[in-house]
Amino acid sequence: MRFSIAGSLLLLCTLAGVVRAGDPPEAAKSGKAPAKPTYYEHVAPIVQERCQVCHRKGAVGPFSMTTYKETAGWAAMIEEVVETRRMPPWHADPKVNSFKNSRRLSDLERDTILNWVKAGAPKGDKAKAPPKKTWPDPKAWRIGTPDAIVEMPESFTVPATGVVPYQYWEVKTDFESDKWIQGIEVQIGATQVVHHVLIFVHYPNRRRSPRVRGGLQGYFASALPGDSIELFPEGSGKWLPKGSSLVFQVHYTPDGTKRVDRSKIGLKFATTKVERRVQTVALNQTRFSIPAGEPNHVVRGTYVFKEDKMLLAMLPHMHLRGKGFRYLLRRPDGSSLALLSVPRYDFNWQNAYRLKNPVFVPKGSKVIGVATFDNSDQNPANPDPTKTVRFGEQTWDEMMIGYMNVVDPTESQRAAYAKQQQTQK
Ligand code: HEC
C-alpha cells in the first residue's frame, strides 16, 4: 500500500495524539481535582494519555501501567515521581515557550494522581473506565511503506545488566541519485532496552560534509521515547546526497534480560519538487575547561543565521555534568526572545523540544546557547568531581551542542513577519 503525501500528513496528525502526548486537552487544564479520585474514572484516562506511551508491554518504561493492578502496585513510587515532576520526563521550563510534544502534566492531572494515592489508590467503578487505548504495532511503518530502509549493519546483543556505553555504527547508503527526504521513521529493534537512537549524516564530499565529530553537526534523525517520526510539509525536505553514510548512535539501558537489537531507519523520498530545505543546524562550543568541583560553570555557544529561517525544534546536548541549557534569539534589530529553558538537564533524556508555533528567525540573527555544568560532588551523575573536564566525545568528557531544526520560510510566513514588524514600529 502506498500513501499519498496528504494521506501521510493526515496520518501523522491522527498519530500525533497517539504517539506524542502533547499538551493536555483544554478541559483537562483547569478545574479542581476530586478529593477522592478513583482509578477507573479519574486516573486511568491520565495514565493512558501521559504514561502508557512508555509504560506498557514492550516499551521503554521499566514496568507496565495498563491495568489497575499494575498501576496501583506502584502507587507510592508514582506519588514520588509525579510530586517531584521526575515523570513524565520533560525538562523545559513551562514559562518559556510552548511545545507541541510537551509531556508536562497539568496541575489538574498532577493533583488527581496525588489525591488518588493519598486516598489509598481506590479502584472505583469499572463501568466508568475510558475505552482501552490501542497502540500502533511497532513493526508497522507509520509513515507508509518506506522507499528505502537503512539498517544497522549487525545485530547488537544488549547484556542483561550493567551500563552500556553509547554504541555507534556507520552505514553507507547506495541510492543511485541525490535524494530529498520527505518522511523519516526510526524503528527500534529491542524496544525494551533502546532508550534512544540518534542518526547523523556524513556526506560523501568530506569538505562539504557537516563536522560530525562527536555529533557537533550532521544530526539527521532520531528515535526518542514516543517520538520517532518526522514528516515534512509538501515542498520541503531534508537533503541526502548520493553516497552519504548514516551513523547510528544508540543508547541502551539493560532491563534484566539479555536482548538483541537491530534498529533501522525508513525513508520516504519527496515526490514533488522540494524548494524549502529542512536542516538541522547547531550552535556549539568546543573550547572550554570546567574546573574540578565547580558547581555552576557557564559555557556559551552561538549560531549566526545567514538566511531567513523558521525555527521548528531544539535539542540540547551535553554529557553527565550537564546541568542547564537555554536558547536565546537575538535579532539584528536588537530585540531578543527566550526560545527554550531547560533548568534541570538530564543526559539520559535526549528530548527534542518541538515548538507549537515555529519562530521566524530573520537573516543576521544570532541564537545564543547558554549551558551550565555541575562538576561538583553534588551532581550524582558526575563520574569524577576531582577532574578538570574539557570537550570530548566520551561520556566522561563534555559536549555543548544546541541542535536546531530549521526550514526556509514560505512567502506567507515572510509576509506575516514583515507585517508584525510594521505594527511594532
Ligand atoms: C517518555 C517515556 C516515559 C513516560 C511518558 C513516562 N515514563 Fe515513567 N519511566 C520511564 C523510564 C525510561 C523509566 C526508567 C527510569 C528512567 O529512565 O528515568 C521510568 C520510570 C518510572 C518510575 C520508576 C522510578 C524509579 O525511580 O525507578 C515510575 C514510578 C514512573 N516512571 C511513573 C510514571 C508515570 C506515573 C508516568 C505518567 C504520569 C510516566 N512514568 C511517564 C519512561 C517514561
Q: Is residue 159 pLDDT above 80, yes or no? A: yes
Nearest CA owner, ligand 1 atom 10: 61
The region of weakest confidence among 85-94, 177-186, 211-220, 248-257 is: 211-220
Is 81's C-beta closer than 6 angstroms to any atom of ligand 1? Answer: yes
The answer to whether 248 and 199 are in contact (CB under 8 A) is yes
The answer to whether 212 and 247 are in contact (CB under 8 A) is yes
The region of weakest confidence among 262-266, 271-275, 321-325, 371-375 is: 271-275
Q: Tell me what the mean pLDDT of segment 223-232 comes to.
A: 85
Contacts of 400 (CB under 8 A, 6+ apart): 284, 285, 286, 288, 299, 301, 317, 318, 369, 371, 391
Q: Is residue 282 pLDDT above 70, yes or no? A: yes
**In 40-75, which positions are buried (b, 16+ CB within 10 angstroms) versus exposed (e)?**
bbbbbbbbbbbbbbbbbeebbbeebbbebeebbebb
Taking the chain, what is the end-to-end CA distance rounded to the nearest angstrom?
53
- Cα(24)–Cα(105) distance, rounded to whole angstroms? 7
Ligand 1 atom nearest to CA at 53 = 5
Q: Is residue 1 pLDDT above 50, yes or no? A: no
Nearest CA owner, ligand 1 atom 37: 51
Ligand 1 atom nearest to CA at 46 = 38
Nearest CA owner, ligand 1 atom 13: 61
- Cα(336)–Cα(330) distance, rounded to whole angstroms? 4
* Residue 424 pLDDT level (bands cut at 50, 70, 90): confident
Name the residue with cell 573550547. 287
Is 77's C-beta closer than 6 angstroms to any atom of ligand 1? Answer: yes
- Cα(246)–Cα(221) distance, rounded to whole angstroms? 10
The answer to whether 226 and 53 are in contact (CB under 8 A) is yes
* Residue 21 pLDDT level (bands cut at 50, 70, 90): very low
Is 204's C-beta closer than 6 angstroms to any atom of ligand 1? Answer: no
* Residue 166 pLDDT level (bands cut at 50, 70, 90): confident
Nearest CA owner, ligand 1 atom 7: 88
Candidate from 43, 54, 104, 135 with most ligand 1 atoms within 8 A of CB, to mutate: 54
Is 324's C-beta closer than 6 angstroms to any atom of ligand 1? Answer: no
Is 282's C-beta closer than 6 angstroms to any atom of ligand 1? Answer: no
Which of 246, 268, 227 is CA-nearest to residue 152? Answer: 246
Ligand 1 atom nearest to CA at 60 = 12
Is 316's C-beta closer than 6 angstroms to any atom of ligand 1? Answer: no
How far, in Å, from the CA of 13 to the mean position of ligand 1? Answer: 25
Q: Is residue 196 pLDDT above 90, yes or no? A: no
How far, in Å, from the CA of 397 to the mean position of ligand 1? Answer: 27
How far, in Å, from the CA of 275 to the mean position of ligand 1? Answer: 41
* Residue 14 pLDDT level (bands cut at 50, 70, 90): very low
Is 224's C-beta closer than 6 angstroms to any atom of ligand 1? Answer: no
How far, in Å, from the CA of 23 to the mean position of ligand 1? Answer: 18
Q: What pLDDT sits at residue 7?
A: 35
For 327-344, write each residue's pLDDT tens digit. Answer: 999 999 999 999 999 999
Q: How many CB atoms lie within 10 A of CB 95?
A: 7
